[in-house]
Amino acid sequence: MAETGTTNLNTLARKLREKTISLAEENYKKAIIEARKTREKAIQDAITAKTSAIKQAKTSLEEPKRKLAESRDRIEARLRKQELEEFSRVQRNVIQKAEESYQEALKEAGRLGKRLAIEATLARRNAIQQAYEDEKKAIVAAKEAIKAQKVISKNRLENERKARQTAEKESAEAKAKAEKESAKAKAKAEKESAKAKAKAEKEMQKPLLEQTKKESIKTDTKKAVPAPQIPVTREDKAIKPVPATEGKPIIHEGIVKLVISQKEVSAIHTAALETSLRQIPGIRLVMIGGSAKEGIQIMLSAPKTFLLAEQLKQLPMVEEVVDNKDFIELKLKPSVTVQNDS
């Protein structure tokens, strides 16, 4: 780009110089032509003046001739000779003045032509010198412009490099800080979750142990009854979420409590229900607890993007779902409840 700019400036300077030289040569030619015209005019004026002087001299001679004719008889040969001499002298003076005027006109024309030629030569020389100086200045200006452009490009690249390094450094620091904070938050959340889970499991052990003991006693005293098998199809394993729409039941979000209406549910079917709940997309099982008096209670974490009650109705072991404001009540099918022999 810089070489192209220099080439354009050199071309422009060369054209300006050629134009100036051509103009000076035209002025020189015009001056020579003008000098010639002036010289020719001066010569013509001198010739005209000479002719006029001769004519005037001839006209002036008529009067002495007339006087000479009138006084021919009265004047002696001496006077006649004097008059003729006077006439010759006057004629010589007129011719001499005419010649002097002619020579002076020639000299003036020569001086004028010479002066015009000198002026034209000086103008041509000055124009050529000015053209060279302009070309030199244009080349210097082009070099300065290229140098300035290089400095500007260098500074711009340096600034961009520094800005890029600063941005990368700040991005790396921010990323490291975010990762550090995320690791801290994750560790803290895991720690608190482990504590809550341990506590919940500890609280759940008591009612489950009591219920297990009761079931063991009943099993010993009763005829062995095979555990009911709950068929789990492929559709049950991948339950699709149902979006929330107008006219549907309450949309629960955050922690949601499920209450099983039956008081006695086997541990096997409780585990099956837990497995089915874990298969619902977006649902997180927080804890399972309860007592013999209140029944089994399950704590879930549900998003607000779809209706939880509608999802629970799709489970194969659920017979009825009652959607309350503070909790959801589940009624399981008879096949998953504990059957008595009596």
CATH number of the domain residue 323 falls in: 3.30.460
3-state SS, 80-109, equals: HHHHHHHHHHHHHHHHHHHHHHHHHHHHHH
* Distance between CA atoms of residues 304 and 254, nearest Å: 8
Claim to verify: residue 9 and residue 138 sit in the same structural domain: yes
In this structure, are 45 and 147 located in the same domain? yes
- Mean pLDDT computed over 13-24: 88
Q: How far is CA 340 from CA 261, 264, 272, 333, 337, in A?
A: 18, 11, 21, 15, 10
Question: What pLDDT shows up at residue 169?
Answer: 87
Closest CA to 307 of 245, 259, 235: 245
Q: Percent of the chain having pLDDT more than 90?
A: 4
Q: How many domains does the chain have?
A: 2
Mark which of 157, 176, 209 sits at the end of a domain: 157
**9 and 107 part of one domain:** yes
Split at pLDDT 50, 70, 90, the class of 175 is confident
Do 60 and 137 belong to one domain?
A: yes
pLDDT of 259 over the 50 cut: yes
With a cut of 70, say whether residue 148 has pLDDT above it: yes
Same domain, 258 and 141: no
In a domain, 282, yes or no: yes
As a whole number of angstroms, the distance between CA 308 and CA 323 comes to 9
Query: For the chain, what is the mean pLDDT?
Result: 77
Q: What integer pLDDT is reported at residue 119 of this predicted model?
A: 86
Write down the pLDDT at residue 185: 75
Q: Which pTM value belongs to this model? A: 0.30
Residue from 231, 242, 245 nearest 283 by CA: 242
Q: Bigger pLDDT: 204 or 311?
A: 311
